[in-house]
Structure 1
């Protein structure tokens, strides 16, 4: 790869963002560093030879957990006659290990002073994101004969970075150095180990219980190979489909996150760099997308979220009994309650989605044991929907933040401040109720009724839930329908007035099943119509709305995850052609990002830009964008569990050709699915 930009490597709870030379020089505008548990453990990591900075010839990000940098001293004009070359190779896997190789290409011996400047500001990730560094504790640096300790203390909050080397080095408080003599054509090598510690009572490392993928490259490689081997195999005449699928699997492996104190189980973190932690909504939706391919993520996600379900009323964290968390953080600002994410419960969709995922997981896996194990948590979640989420008293789920200092204003997936509006562009008062959350609640009640009848031995409760779901569907179709537009409103305000803009949220209503059959065709037409469909995906807000902006975060961009659920919803209502059209757009977009779909990209019309324009601060990789191609595969092949078997009913876009998905796991064991579409030879040759 040519040298440019930043290089990111990650492994679950640890990630490193560096310059293309491998150096780290953290600034407010360039958030590089080594991060773990929402803390930056390295903010400076600069290699010099004889006091001279190095320049990059090229770098390779070999796997998600390792990278290699090829460097020479001096500026670019020196490259032709460089007498030294330097190779930096690094990997993360619970710790950060770097090897340095220096090669003398001269016919004369050389004496070199090799130095690594090292330091840490121990910044909280929220401080880095907000470009505000306000440390209230004590930073220290302690040089010992064989290591350097960098640390930060504030009360009981104690973080430490320990640096050691395979060769003897001269350590000081700002780094370490070597004096090296190299004969002609000789090379020198050292290994550097960087360990990060979250120190608790008694000096114990709080992360000792975490599942690490290993600190050695062979262990990391074996883990990745095993992950890929356990997933279904995808072969396609359209080779970009198979490449995008593999890229998604690898990124999912990288995003596996192990929460503290939960025995090393993993769930998908939301995304790099800002959201390498658990998010209720993001983790659940990612599991729904990837269920046919990586079902093990769903089981652990459900158990972890159940273990952290709300038990009390806490306005600061916006916790209620039965509520499923929104976000968990482990940094300094959470520890000292400068922000509420310890955990924070300010989301209204993760609770019904928890029930949806449990039922969908059982339909695929046949894991009745988990459904019975989590019955109490499901019942508490259903009580939260009925007793605590209905802030207005009309049977809908509403939100209004109780933590007015640091809580989220909008507690749906479109959580930016201006994402919910009326047609004239003004913002509604609180509380607010968004349409897709009512669909999730409807779906949760229907699914919980099935579980109550079949697994909990409570048919009376099942009948009650079904009656409630029917009544909710009837009310919803009365109150949310925008008659002059032929679609459902984005939201209601507390007076029942509609936020009557056309948005992508209507696609979520399809996959939840709350849309009446006679209105589904109008919704389908909107989703593939020119106002919502850009040619690459479904816009979050329709072109022509007052707040429409093709690069507005939730007001006109295309989110691949959002589009994938729109396609799934279309397929569930029998609109296979429309679902294939949407799937084709997103998969076409993926090739412009080497198979790694970003969090969001611009909603410009495809014919105008010819390629998808990436949103400037999009996370990449991001879990539910990584999951989008997998849900689209399921949608295109029509994969659905049916009476203990896997049903396959393909409908492929033109140009897809033949697809094979082999060894799909489920209650049926492992089965294969095949589909053939019409090849577009011109497109295939692009």
Structure 2
């Protein structure tokens, strides 16, 4: 999912040469910005409520910046910030003080309460000015506005933009237009002044103890957007949870964020998926949207169904080396036009297929949704797409031979790495040097093994041929994997990160191996060895699971994929550990994410730095991380689900119960999970005993030993 803006290894930065000043523009930082989002619209600004003409600040809609400046001034001065708070999906409140107004004493007597509300295609604000002064207050309030219509890729690369001039289109109304995209801002009872920097202006007079409310709104007209707000209500349940307060608060914020990230295609508004993250990736991303829907299955199957159908409609039908498309392949990302970074070789077509893992993950999402109770007629309708996806897995993934699923990269302008760690330097040997393609990633072999098994189960259940062939293929892959991927090192014996283009194991210890847990590719003994490595100090003495061991040559705690911590990565491993019965290890990683949640106001970012706790005391932000981000928010649901351990197989008429061994998160009670559209309640006491009620008729329970 990464779009790189840094110089490639071997360029001027690597050789010590001095590059021209214009050759490198760093990506704007956003870790301290406040995002207010209801997809596909986002407002990004400072913690004082101002949206300044700098970096990535602005009002965005579907990959385009609508307003680049929204700055409130009183008597030509900016009020002083006091604080802000989120106000549910699409809402935020800001408090500031114009301390030069009112009584001359230590306590402020004039206060501004600024309430922001984002809805799809619009932003509105109520600016309440409250006086407790003993004298009348008179002030000129202005809203300074700019619009540049900058594409998100230009903003991301720090590129130059040009303000568009505003015109007066009505009383208190300003308008901007670029092609078919239009923006209109209206201030109730305001005077408008046009120009490249435009203004709305109010004259305010308050009596002693008086108050007034100023209102304005922005509306975006964007008929070319490829993503829109869904046409239906939220698809998943909102469970009632009694647990550690950190988990309940993380869940509440995460559920708000997930609601705010809901999207649909303009051509099919009835099928919902989750946009990957704000601001860079608020669109359809195969891998991200699939993982997020899979994590939300305990709350219902409707999101999974929408995600599956959206991606099935865009499933590849031809071989196209430029886009990476191939018959049966699931796409990587969708944009309104080519995604091209100024001053960078990376150019991705509007529909880009450069991903090695979205297709097997799509297969497993269909299988898991079926087992959670997705109606059979909906599964049956997707079976032709399943067969096509299996066809891609069997015919288009073994570049150069060897029997493993691998990628070459798509031409010179696509992503060099095509697993979830898709930055250019993500695949490194223990000594730090980079692997050459074609690359066979370790976790992708696990995904492929699981997809073959899952595909076989679906083919058999729905009367389609080929189940035995896919089970045989999975068994063969497991044998090859055991022979080729396991390596010895200072950590002991473990699976390598990948095989490189020469078939050599890329021998760095990374979080990727945790994704093998639960796929069936590992034996019980191998799973135990992996579980212990994942919670070793080199991997887990921070606030979650590091992407790379701190003992590796390529380790950097502030890198994108070589030492940072990703919430979704940690959550996937927690789920695998829990399902395999490694409760203590799962609890260790879950505690790290819960501690990180406190630091980030319970809105987990895309990733954060992998520093040891003892070195910094709290997790440090990765400054360009998306926040909110779909699979990071979904991590909270995964932690909750792992704690209670409810694993349904509706077609087989049973539910397995396997709460976290040792109940490391203490007592957890959840009301409102969904199995086959029925609300189910689960409770786990402090001793790990579990009870369940509300299961659909005909479903029996089976308690699996939890340690």
Deviations 1:562-587 (A, max 9, x none): 12222222233333333333333333
Q: In the alignment, what sits opposite 1:298?
A: 304
The reply to whether residue 390 of structure 1 matches residue 398 of structure 2 is yes
Kindly tell me: are residues 571 and 183 of structure 1, through their superposed partners in 2, closer, same or farther at Cα, counting changes over 3 Å? closer
Residue 220 of structure 2 aligns with which residue?
196
- In structure 2, the partner of 1:371 is 379
Q: 1:449 to 1:428 in 2, by over 3 A?
A: same
User: 2:559 & 2:254 partners in 1: Cα distance?
Assistant: 26
The aligned counterpart of 1:272 is 278
The yes-or-no answer on 1:167 pairing with 2:204 is no
Contact 2:242 2:670 in 1 (8 A): yes
Asked whether the equivalents of residues 69 and 88 of structure 1 are also in contact (C-alpha less than 8 Å), the reply is yes
More helix per residue: 1 or 2? 1
**Contact 2:172-2:190 at 8 Å conserved across structures:** no
Distance verdict in 2 for CA 1:79–1:211, change over 3 Å: farther
1:661 is the counterpart of 2:670: yes
Describe the SS at the equivalent of 1:641. Answer: strand
State the TM-score, normalizing by the size of structure 2. 0.85
Is 1:211 the counterpart of 2:230 in the alignment? yes
Shift in Å, 1:264 = 4.6
Deviations 1:640-676, CA, capped at 9 Å, x for gaps? 1143233222225566331111232112722221112
**Which runs of structure 2 are paired with 1:336-347 in the superposition (5 Å)?**
339-347=347-355
Report whether the alignment pairs 1:583 with 2:590.
Answer: yes
Q: Is the 8 A contact 1:436 1:509 kept in 2?
A: yes
Alignment of 1:433-472 (within 5 A): 433-455=440-462, 457-458=463-464, 460-472=465-477
Q: Cα deviations across residues 39-70 of structure 1 (Å, max 9, x unaligned)?
A: 11011112223323222233332223112223
Task: Judge conservation of contact 1:197–1:207 (CA < 8 Å) in 2.
Answer: no
Q: Following the alignment from structure 2 to structure 1, what is the Cα–Cα distance between the partners of residues 412 and 578?
A: 40
Question: Secondary structure, in 3 states, of the residue corresponding to 1:266?
Answer: strand
Q: Is the 8 A contact 1:597 1:626 kept in 2?
A: yes
Q: Work out whether residues 226 and 335 of structure 2, in 8 Å CA contact, stay in contact via their aligned partners in 1.
A: no
1:480-629 aligned at under 5 Å gives the runs 480-483=485-488, 485-534=492-541, 536-629=543-636
Q: CA deviation at 1:373?
A: 0.8
1:158 is the counterpart of 2:188: no
Which 10-residue stretch deviates more, 390-399 or 73-82? 73-82
Structure 2 residues not aligned, in runs of 5+: 1-30, 689-707
Alignment correspondent of 2:482: 477
Check 1:292–1:319 CA distance in 2 against 1; reply closer, same or farther (3 A cut). Answer: same
Shift of 1:449: 0.5
Counterpart in 1 of 2:111?
A: 85
Match of 1:177 in 2: 201
**Shift of residue 114, structure 1, vs aligned partner:** 2.6
- With 557-566 and 164-173 compared, the bigger mean Cα shift is at 164-173
CA contact (8 A) 1:652 1:677 kept: no
8 Å CA contact retained: 2:331, 2:354: yes
Tell me, yes or no, if structure 1 residue 44 matches structure 2 residue 69: yes
The residue number in structure 2 matching 1:56 is 81
Residues 62-98 of structure 1 deviation map (CA, whole Å, 9 limit, x = unaligned): 2231122233335799784656433322201121111
Separation (CA, whole Å) in 2 of partners of 1:541 and 1:75: 52
Q: Which range is displaced more, 422-431 or 586-595?
A: 586-595
* Equivalent-residue separation in structure 1 for 2:133 and 2:494 (angstroms): 73
Q: Deviations over 1:163-183 (max 9, x none)?
A: 113325334231222334444
Q: CA deviation at 1:552?
A: 2.3
CA distance in 1, matches of 2:543, 2:206: 56
Q: Structure 1 CA distance, aligned partners of 2:563 and 2:169?
A: 55
1:119 aligns with 2:146: yes
Count of equivalent residues: 648
CA distance in 1, matches of 2:229, 2:298: 26
Distance 1:79 1:117, change over 3 A: farther
SS of equivalent residue, structure 1 residue 512? coil
- Give the direction of change, closer, same or farther, for the CA distance of 1:655–1:666 in structure 2 (3 Å limit): closer
* Partners of 2:672 and 2:74 in 1: CA distance: 52
Deviation at 1:341, TM superposition (A): 4.4
Q: How far off is 1:150 after superposition?
A: 3.9
The answer (yes or no) to whether the contact 2:187–2:200 under 8 Å persists in 1 is: no
Match of 1:253 among 259, 263, 268: 259
TM-score, reference length from structure 1? 0.88
**Cα distance in structure 1, aligned partners of 2:176 and 2:261:** 27
CA distance in 2, matches of 1:637, 1:601: 27
Aligned-pair CA distance for 1:21 = 3.0
Question: Matched residues in 2 for 1:512 and 1:362: separation?
Answer: 17
Distance 1:113 1:632 in 2: 51
1:125-178 superposed Cα distances (whole Å, 9 cap, x missing partner): 11111101356xx9442212325444343xxx5321111133253342312223
Conserved? CA contact 1:210–1:261, under 8 Å: no
Q: Distance in 2 between matches of 1:187 and 1:518?
A: 69
Cα pair distance change 1:388/1:208, threshold 3 Å = closer
Higher mean alpha-carbon deviation, 648-657 vs 51-60, is at 648-657
Q: Which residue of 1 aligns with 2:10?
A: none
SS of aligned partner of 1:63: coil
Q: What is the match of residue 700 of structure 2?
A: none
Q: Alignment partner of 1:564: what SS?
A: helix
Does 2:313 match 1:307?
yes
Of 130, 144, 157, 2:169 maps to 144
